[in-house]
Amino acid sequence: MSEIAVAAARLAEAGVESPRADAELMAAHRHGVARSRLNLVSDAEFDPRFWDDVARREAREPLQHITGSSYFRYLELAVGPGVFVPRPETEVMTGWAIDRLNEMDVAEPVVADLGAGSGAIALAIAQEVPRARMHAVEADPLARSWTERNIARCAAAAPHISGRVTLHADDFASALPGLDGAVDLVISNPPYIPVGADVPPEVGEYEPPSALYSGADGLDAIRVVERVARRLLRPGGRVAVEHGAKQGTAVYWVFAEENGWTQTRNHCDLAGLDRFVTAVWP
Ligand SMILES: C[S@@+](CC[C@H](N)C(=O)[O-])C[C@H]1O[C@@H](n2cnc3c(N)ncnc32)[C@H](O)[C@@H]1O
């Protein structure tokens, strides 16, 4: 499709980071073919609505809002206005949690996902650790409508997920009181951008502020997650929390020995950037 080169040039001019890939993915979505088969779309089949999609992306609307879906580990999730688009760096933390759960000598490990958004973390764990019981906590009603939709969609595609993910409409600060001291793993990708920090238009103009910002240093929600994890975890339970690339040292000290934690570790994402902290409740 010669249109791809024109679209990619327009997106590059608009400051889009990966213009060629985005143009191809939008064309593949619009024409209902795999990206690798775009060369088989003839001029006669070309759908002019592709140019509407290009205009939206030029305005820096997230690619995933235009295609309506986002891939996370082995899942395809519905996303759009009002919910945070899952990121590849979160896949690494989720993979760490899946490995630890698979090692646990517990019949049905209980897991709390604090700030569920699209449901990416909870659903990936439910899919890959079928014996896990997931509790997904989300305060934002609009985000929760996407979580619900994805729970239904993923359960239809993978029936073993059905009934394994419970969504709780709650602030995670006070959530899941009935599970105090009974949770095997707490995982969270909370908001962690300092208020007032510069972000790309795709983030600042299209993603929900409650998914992004958290106090002057970006650590307010992480401090809450630390307190909640202390309350929820059983002895020997584990916590994993995502953070910004420059927050590794600060978050390490949130989970310090003085607060009772052991085996606190920093972990990197696939780009080699500091990305999440894990610790064990003694
Ligand atoms: C960065 S997004 C992460 C979403 C999803 N877990 C992911 O990794 O793609 C953070 C989510 O936490 C939710 N959130 C923020 N503060 C919360 C709170 N105090 N209680 C419950 N949910 C909260 C936001 O609404 C948002 O959906």
Residue 118 CA to ligand 1 center (angstroms) comes to 9
- Please tell me the predicted confidence (pLDDT) of residue 44: 84
- Please tell me the predicted confidence (pLDDT) of residue 42: 86
- Please tell me the predicted confidence (pLDDT) of residue 1: 64
Please indicate whether residue 117, judged by its CB atom, sits closer than 6 Å to ligand 1.
yes
Atom of ligand 1 nearest to the CA of 90: 8
Tokens of 259: 């607060």
Please indicate whether residue 191, judged by its CB atom, sits closer than 6 Å to ligand 1.
yes
Please indicate whether residue 171, judged by its CB atom, sits closer than 6 Å to ligand 1.
yes
Determine what percent of the chain falls in helix, strand and coil, rounding each to the nearest 5. Answer: 45, 20, 35
Of all protein residues, the one whose alpha carbon is nearest to atom 9 of ligand 1 is: 86
Of all protein residues, the one whose alpha carbon is nearest to atom 13 of ligand 1 is: 115
Please indicate whether residue 17, judged by its CB atom, sits closer than 6 Å to ligand 1.
no
Q: Under 8 Å CB-to-CB from 55, ≥6 apart: which residues?
A: none
What does each of the 282 residues of the chain score in pLDDT, given as a tens digit?
Answer: 689 999 999 999 999 999 999 999 999 999 999 999 998 888 888 899 999 999 999 999 999 999 999 999 999 999 999 999 999 999 999 999 999 999 999 999 999 999 999 999 999 999 999 999 999 999 999 999 999 999 999 999 999 999 999 999 999 999 999 999 999 999 999 999 999 999 999 999 999 999 999 999 999 999 999 999 999 999 999 999 999 999 999 999 999 999 999 999 999 999 999 999 999 999
- Please tell me the predicted confidence (pLDDT) of residue 202: 96
Please indicate whether residue 242, judged by its CB atom, sits closer than 6 Å to ligand 1.
no
Residue 91 CA to ligand 1 center (angstroms) comes to 15
Residue 143 CA to ligand 1 center (angstroms) comes to 8
- Please tell me the predicted confidence (pLDDT) of residue 43: 83
Please indicate whether residue 92, judged by its CB atom, sits closer than 6 Å to ligand 1.
no
Residue 10 CA to ligand 1 center (angstroms) comes to 33
Please indicate whether residue 210, judged by its CB atom, sits closer than 6 Å to ligand 1.
yes
Atom of ligand 1 nearest to the CA of 122: 6
Residue 59 CA to ligand 1 center (angstroms) comes to 25
DSSP string, 22-75: HHHHHHHHHHTS-GGGGGG--GGG--TTHHHHHHHHHTT--HHHHHSEEEETTE
Please indicate whether residue 89, judged by its CB atom, sits closer than 6 Å to ligand 1.
no
State phi, psi for 230 to the nearest 5 degrees: -60, -40
Please indicate whether residue 82, judged by its CB atom, sits closer than 6 Å to ligand 1.
no
Long-range contacts of residues 70-75, Cβ cutoff 8 Å, at least 24 apart = 70/118, 70/120, 72/118, 72/120, 72/123, 72/124, 73/124, 73/127, 73/128, 74/124, 74/127, 74/128, 75/120, 75/123, 75/124, 75/127, 75/150, 75/154
